[in-house]
Amino acid sequence: MSDVEFGRMSIKETELGDGSCSPPKPHWYEQYLQPCIAELVGSAFFIFIGCASVIENSEGTGRLQPALAHGLALGLTIAVLGNLSGGHYNPAVSLGAWLIGGLNMVMVIPYWISQLLGGLLGAGLAKVLTFSGRYENATGAAFTAITSDGQLTAAVGGEILMTMFLVMTVCMGAINEKTRTPLAPFCIGFTVVVDILAGGAVSGACMNPARAFGPAVVANYWDYHWVYWVGPMGAGLLVGALIRFLIGDKKTRFFLK
């Protein structure tokens, strides 16, 4: 073993056969556990802000207040915690990231569990910290946009299209080498704002099973809940296929390299 000095810090590196040194291996905590904690904390903050913005929505603002709150909260949490986990906070995003090679397969289910637990925590905090009468009137900010079976086709289609826009922004802006940009947190947050403003009346513009799951459990409101799993997860699959087959960079595409 050889000591390599970086300022005041001494880092142990393994000396290879040719005399060069390999970079130190990341600690198991930073590689496996810390990203899950970041996903849980980020999901909790994002979903708390999202729920509170719906519950305490001022009269006359319509979808503008929830749209800005969701978008700004997501962009900020990605900027602050994104380097630890990638800043997914959404099972559909994690699915798309895994399909294009941006997430290790062994981390997919731990990410999903962390995001769902974060959703429960965020929705629970919203129940505790917001005015109870408004909480009950808003059904805990669970999604209530669908009121009849006749809306199901439009709602599922809307969730698929809006989530595709979101997942594609994440995958192309933060993962795909040819197109990724340091402005990814802003782009992702702005995408959420646009989706909610444009499609909120169709399905509520959830785009995130964890965002739907937490309030549904806390408020015990399950009407048409499956829509907010089928639509976003289907969108994650479609974006993964689209990038792998058509618009991904040379390293990501399966064909025509």
Q: What is the pLDDT of residue 255?
A: 85
Domain that holds residue 129: 28-247
**pLDDT single digits (tens) 173-192:** 999 999 999 999 999 999 99
Residue 116 lies in a domain: yes
Contact 216, 225 (CB under 8 A): yes
- Token duo for residue 232: 């976003």
Specify the 3-state DSSP secondary structure of 179. coil
DSSP state of 23: P
The H or E element that residue 213 is part of is helix 209-219
Q: What is the pLDDT of residue 2?
A: 41
Residue 256 lies in a domain: no
How much is the average pLDDT of 192-208?
Answer: 95
Whether pLDDT at 22 is above 70: no
pTM, 2 dp:
0.89
Long-range contacts for 247-251 (Cβ within 8 Å, ≥24 apart)? 247/172, 248/100, 248/176, 249/176, 249/177, 249/178, 249/179, 250/178, 251/101, 251/177
Half-sphere CA count of 228, side-chain side, radius 13 A: 27
Q: What is the pLDDT of residue 59?
A: 73
In 3D space, the residue among 104, 93, 128, 112 whose CA is nearest the CA of residue 240 turns out to be: 93
Residue 6 lies in a domain: no
Residue 140 lies in a domain: yes
Count of domains observed in the chain: 1
DSSP state of 149: G
Residue 4 lies in a domain: no
- Token duo for residue 215: 């309030």
Contact 214, 122 (CB under 8 A): yes
Residue 114 lies in a domain: yes
In 3D space, the residue among 72, 98, 79 whose CA is nearest the CA of residue 38 turns out to be: 79
Residue 1 lies in a domain: no
Work out the mean pLDDT of the chain and round it to a whole number.
Answer: 90
- Token duo for residue 217: 């459990």
Buried b (16+ CB within 10 A) or exposed e, 140-160: bbbbbbbeeeebeeebbebbb
24 burial type by CB count under 10 A (0-12 exposed, 13-18 middle, 19+ buried): exposed
Q: Which band of pLDDT confidence, cut at 50, 70 and 90, is reported for residue 217? A: very high
CATH number, domain containing residue 80: 1.20.1080.10
Would you give the end-to-end CA distance of the chain in angstroms?
A: 41
**pLDDT single digits (tens) 5-18:** 333 333 344 445 55
Residue 176 lies in a domain: yes
